[in-house]
């Protein structure tokens, strides 16, 4: 018979989301990395997306913040994380309900990893429109056609509705429509 011990609790990194003032995301991310011990904070990042922008007669790929006003944290111990965050200037709050910090659920983490990979950069997707239906041919939006609510072909962006932070949010990403029939 196998022996079981009480203290066999498996700890794994948990993803948290911190709300910050829009425009201060990089500053807050740098503070977190500098001020919070690496044995408390495994990773701190801001997901970005690529977008094509035309200026000076040429198309350029720019990177934009995927969720303006939010910084993502990966840590094992929420208490130690909260204590470390007290040193950070400009933090608004960790996402939660009341006094309870609520981590991202696995579906949200899976979505972020699918579209942004480990780099947390959502690259430009490519698709076609046939009979008013969008079909993604390449890129992170493959299989997510049902989430697309609107496409701005002129700005080469798609607006998606996804479940994130415990609510439905709009997400803007790069989408190049290469053909419309």
Furthest C-alpha separation in the chain: 74
> How would you classify the pairing of strands 133-138 and 70-75?
unpaired
Residue 87 has pLDDT above 70, yes or no: yes
Is the model's pLDDT at 10 over the cut of 50? Answer: no
How many Å apart are CA 121 and CA 117, to the nearest integer? Answer: 7
| Residue bearing the bigger pLDDT, 12 or 93 | 93
CATH class of 14-180: alpha beta
Domain boundaries defined on the chain = 14-180
Task: Provide the pLDDT for residue 35.
Answer: 93
pTM of the model: 0.86
* Mean pLDDT score across all residues of the chain: 88
Return the sign of the alpha-carbon dihedral for residues 90, 96, 99, 101: negative
DSSP state of 162: E
- Higher-scoring residue by pLDDT: 93, 16: 16
Residue 79 CA to residue 5 CA, distance in Å, equals 24
């Amino acid at each position: 018979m196998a022996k079981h011990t009480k203290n066999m609790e498996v700890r794994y990194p948990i993803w948290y989301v911190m709300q910050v003032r829009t425009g201060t995301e990089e500053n807050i991310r740098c503070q977190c990395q500098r001020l919070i011990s690496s044995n408390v904070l495994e990773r701190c990042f801001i997901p970005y997306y690529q977008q094509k922008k035309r200026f000076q007669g040429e198309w350029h790929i720019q990177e934009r913040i995927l969720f303006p006003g939010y910084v993502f944290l990966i840590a094992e111990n929420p208490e130690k994380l909260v204590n470390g965050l007290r040193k950070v200037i400009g933090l608004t709050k960790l996402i939660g309900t009341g006094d309870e910090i609520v981590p991202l659920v696995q579906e949200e983490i899976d979505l972020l990893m699918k579209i942004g990979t480990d780099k947390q950069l959502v690259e430009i997707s490519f698709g076609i429109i046939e009979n008013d239906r969008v079909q993604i041919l390449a890129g992170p939006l493959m299989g997510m056609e049902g989430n697309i609510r609107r496409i701005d072909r002129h700005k080469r962006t798609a607006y998606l509705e996804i479940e994130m932070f415990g609510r439905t949010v709009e997400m803007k990403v790069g989408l190049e429509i290469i053909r419309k029939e």
